[in-house]
Amino acid sequence: MSYELDPLPYDYDALEPHISEQVLTWHHDTHHQGYVNGWNSAEETLEQNREDGDFSSSPGAIRNVTHNGSGHILHDLFWNSMSPEGGDEPSGELRDRIEEDFGSYDAWKGEFEAAAGNAGGWALLVYDSFSNQLRNIVVDKHDQGALWGSHPILALDVWEHSYYHDYGPARGDFVSNFFEVVDWDEPSARYEQAVELFE
């Protein structure tokens, strides 16, 4: 099985002025494509090693599957969590659950922004199926700090290539402007799917 990079669900300039056309082009076409290529290459190495019975390079390839595979999956979630029509707040079942698990939308958002300010990769809102609750987590790189049994609901990429061209070192401004393009339809659908599976 090989993995492919899907096109963005909107034009490259659709999220301006919050995220520039240049950043989306670099980020999607170069960085994200690199994770897809890395995942495919690692899978090919593992398949060849199984055929040859030589597993000397398998540990590195296995690590590359988790790193590049997580990078591909999280970027896909990131693109689909935004749209030119975004900028609203969640509603319906997801809004109710955020208020139940965090006390209020503002409390959730404050904690999420704190996570994004501290992350060495990603801030995620996840559904934790073990504890049956929503929680924010900090994931460094793409796969360090992930919580077993958690299903990503909302993903924010805070690697420097996500924002430095537009915002310089002002990561907090980028995080604030992310909320101007968040489209909660996709995260809400992912939340409902997770709850249907585990509650």
**Burial class of residue 134 in the structure, from the number of CB atoms within 10 Å of its CB (0-12 exposed, 13-18 middle, 19+ buried):** buried
Orientation of helix 105-118 relative to helix 171-178, angle to 10°: 140
Residue-level length of the chain: 199
CB-CB contact of 150 with 127 (8 Å): yes
Strand order in the sheet with 150-157: 133-140, 121-128, 150-157
Binding site annotation covers 18? Answer: no
Please report the DSSP string for 69-116 in residue order.
HHHHHHHHHHHHTB-TT------HHHHHHHHHHHSSHHHHHHHHHHHH
Tell me whether residue 88 is annotated as binding. no
Q: Tokens standing for 171? A: 């990561």
Contact between 122 and 160 under an 8 Å Cβ cutoff? The reply is: no
Annotated binding residue 28: no
75 labelled ligand-binding: yes
Residues placed in the known binding site: 27, 75, 157, 161
Residues placed in the known binding site for Mn(2+): 27, 75, 157, 161
